[in-house]
Amino acid sequence: MANDDQFKKVISHAKEYGYVFQSSEIYDGLSAVYDYAQNGVELKKNIRDYWWKAMVQMNDNIVGIDASIFMHPTTWKASGHVDAFSDPLIDNKDSKKRYRADVLVEDYCAKIEAKIEKEVKKAAKRFGDAFNKEEFVSTNGRVVGYQEKIDSILKRLGQSLEKEDLADVKALIEELEIACPVAGSRNWTDVKQFNLMFGTKLGASAETAMDLYLRPETAQGIFVNFLNVQKTGRMKIPFGIAQTGKAFRNEIVARQFIFRMREFEQMEMQFFIKPGTQKEWFEYWKETRLKWHKSLGLGDENYRFHDHEKLAHYADAATDIEFKFPFGFKELEGIHSRTDFDLKQHEEFSGKKLQYFDHEDKANYTPYVLETSIGLDRMFLAVFSNALVEEELENNTTRTVLKLPAVLAPNKAAILPLVKKDGLPEIAKQIVEDLKWDFNVTYDEKDAVGRRYRRQDANGTPFCITVDHDTLEDNSVTIRHRDTMEQKRVKIEDLKEIIKAEVDVKHWLKKMK
Ligand code: GAP
């Protein structure tokens, strides 16, 4: 399938160009654990910074923290993770492969979804400019039928999971005649729950060591610090606490590269609000977060909301921002109205009051919380897979280009002397020296300049700056734009402003307004 091929290309490109490596590869790797390489670490950092700037720097009522990965074990009892942080798993008796039961059903629905897309594409071709997608999907009999089928399957799945009716989840898999992708058989075990937290020990001796968990989400580090931050920062509701950091989950089905990992990074923000205002804030953060995504220009049509049928134990409303990955629309970010569940639980388990005194209302209350939670690695995959394109050129050749948003690109410019002599490398290196105070830039003198352009295109570098013999005469260079391949002659002294105009965070974040 074309999309499978595209995904394979994404994975091999990520390795070949120094973005993502399999962890401990020389020992044949570790399943669902990855290392970020020299370019990947920069892209990841830039995504993290882009999020941090939008959430913390641009909002005077949101502050950041960096809580520890280890937390007191009671945290996880209070949060409900010890008792309820599990996935429903099912084994195929023939292949001995283990699956998440809900994912099997969702994948089944994704296949129906693909049929809808096919119908839409066909109709768009048939009707041309007169095509109205919204009208088509709401009136075409076949499409409406497909959509009704998806809705009813997901509704039943949600209800069964909500009621912990695992026998019905198995019945649903059997009724839909879902087969094991490996064995092709429908010889399934019963569905069981499996806790996803990794356990570890704190302390030197076996008798006194304390059982700990590696945090499965960063959010709890924010909840337990709620009062510390509120008091020391003199924060007034509504206010938010943001943090980025590692989280760990013993995922049953870890696949799809960095989409679902066992060690990953989250960027989360808990927004503390007055009880009763959660609906408005839910809408506000839905809209604000979608604008953040769209500001990066990955294509508005690649996002959609998916409201949850099955709500987590802490939520009274929840939606996912889904992104169109090479393997279809999947969750990229979660927006959850978490009520006062977490603070109340920590109050009960710690015996400490976690309340807020509202000076306007002259009353104490436990704040409600609106959470935005995005996986940094998943965002990396969204950006990277969207950026990788093969372009047909006019001279019947193709080029591979990584059209990363310039604000996120690991290197902003590559400085290339046309030849390795006549003083050109010295000038190129001086340009590197001058620009590196403001941007990550790289120097490349190996191979013909055309090949170097292609290499930088595939690396995602937005600008190539070539120093040639005319530079010796007039201090000008050629600047080549990665996406348009357009070349312009400019003065060396103007380079900084030209690059800044395209890579400056301000220029990108302003699109959110
Ligand atoms: N505090 C809420 C929370 O953790 P979640 O929906 O379980 O909610 C939030 O996770 C986000 O974290 C997801 O939308 C996804 O982007 C990312 N995420 C979750 N599990 C992941 C995994 N195993 N690998 C990579 N990213 C993951």
Are 260 and 251 in contact by the 8 Å Cβ rule? The answer is yes
Residue of the CA atom closest to atom 21 of ligand 1: 260
Q: What is the pTM of this model?
A: 0.88
pLDDT band (50, 70, 90) for residue 448: very high
Q: Is the pLDDT of residue 1 over 60?
A: no
In DSSP terms, which residues pair with 212 in a beta bridge? 200
Quick count: other Cβ atoms within 10 Å of Cβ 432? 15
Q: What is the average pLDDT across 66-86?
A: 95
The span from the CA of 410 to the CA of 462, in Å, is 10
Candidates 319, 509, 299, 439; CA nearest to 383 is: 299
Nearest residue to 50 (alpha-carbon basis) of 284, 238, 272, 294: 294
Give the confidence band of 2 by pLDDT, cuts at 50, 70, 90.
Answer: low
Question: Is there an atom of ligand 1 within 6 Å of 334 CB?
Answer: yes
Which residues make up the CATH 3.40.50.800 domain(s) of the chain? 411-512
User: 411-512 has which CATH code?
Assistant: 3.40.50.800
For the Cβ of 251 lying below 6 angstroms from any atom of ligand 1, the answer is yes
Q: How far is the CA of 301 from the centre of ligand 1 (A)?
A: 22
pLDDT band at 234 (very low <50, low <70, confident <90, very high): very high
Probe ligand 1: pick from 264, 286, 293, 371, max atoms within 8 Å of CB?
264
> How does residue 211 score in pLDDT terms, banded at 50, 70 and 90?
confident
What tens digit of pLDDT does each residue of 39-48 get? Answer: 999 999 999 9
Q: What is the pLDDT of residue 253?
A: 74
Query: How would residue 309 be classed by pLDDT, with cut points 50, 70 and 90?
Result: confident
Where exactly does CATH 3.30.930.10 map onto the chain? Answer: 3-385
N-term to C-term CA, the chain: 39
- CA 48: distance to chain centroid? 10
Q: Does the pLDDT at position 8 exceed 70?
A: yes
Higher pLDDT: 458 or 129? It is: 458
Give mean pLDDT, residues 410-439: 98
Instruction: Please name which of 410, 331, 342 lies closest in space to residue 371, comparing C-alpha atoms.
Output: 342
Residues 6+ apart with CB under 8 A from 513: none
Q: How much distance in Å is there from the Cα of 373 to the middle of ligand 1?
A: 7
Residues 345-354 pLDDT 10s: 999 999 999 9
The three-state secondary structure class of 254 is: coil
Instruction: Look at residue 312 in the predicted model and tell me its pLDDT.
Output: 77
pLDDT > 70: what percent of the chain? 99
* Section 161-186 average pLDDT: 94
List of E strands, 8-150: 20-22, 34-36, 62-64, 86-91, 98-100
Share the mean pLDDT of the chain.
95
Ligand 1 centre and the CA of 266: distance in Å? 7
Q: Which of 265, 370, 373, 383 to mutate to test the pocket of ligand 1 (most atoms within 8 A of CB)?
A: 373
Mean pLDDT on 380-406 = 95
Q: For residue 217, which atom of ligand 1 is closest to its CA?
A: 4
Mutate to test the pocket of ligand 1, among 34, 86, 266 (most ligand atoms within 8 A of CB): 266
Pairing of strands 413-417, 441-443: parallel
Question: Is ligand 1 within 6 A of the CB of residue 378?
Answer: yes
Distance 81 CA to ligand 1 centre (A): 14
pLDDT band for position 252 (cuts 50, 70, 90): confident
CB 182 within 8 A of CB 97: yes
> Could you give the percent of the chain with pLDDT greater than 90?
90
Res 51 pLDDT > 90: yes
Query: What pLDDT is attached to residue 513?
Result: 82
Return the CATH fold of 3-385. BirA Bifunctional Protein; domain 2 (3.30.930)
Preceding omega of 238 cis (within 30 degrees of 0): yes
Q: Is 9 exposed, middle or buried (0-12, 13-18, 19+ CB in 10 A)?
A: middle
125 pLDDT tier (thresholds 50, 70, 90): very high
In the reported structure, the alpha carbon of residue 335 is separated from the centroid of ligand 1 by a whole-number distance in angstroms of 11
The sign of the torsion formed by the CA atoms of 446, 448, 451, 453 equals: positive
Residue 217 has pLDDT above 90, yes or no: yes
Residues 68 and 212: beta-carbon distance below 8 Å = no
E strand or H helix at 276: none
Res 255 pLDDT > 80: no
39 CB within 6 A, ligand 1:
no
User: Angle at which helices 495-503 and 424-435 pack, to 10 degrees?
Assistant: 50
Q: Is 221 in the pocket of ligand 1 (CB under 6 A)?
A: no
Tell me the CA–centroid distance for residue 261 and ligand 1, in Å: 10
Atom of ligand 1 minimally distant from the CA of 266: 12
**Is 222 exposed, middle or buried (CB count within 10 Å of its CB: 0-12, 13-18, 19+)?**
buried
CA 4 vs CA 1, 102, 187: distances in Å: 5, 22, 27
Which residues neighbour 15 within 8 Å (Cβ) at sequence distance 6 or greater?
21, 22
Question: Mean pLDDT across the stretch 80-100?
Answer: 93
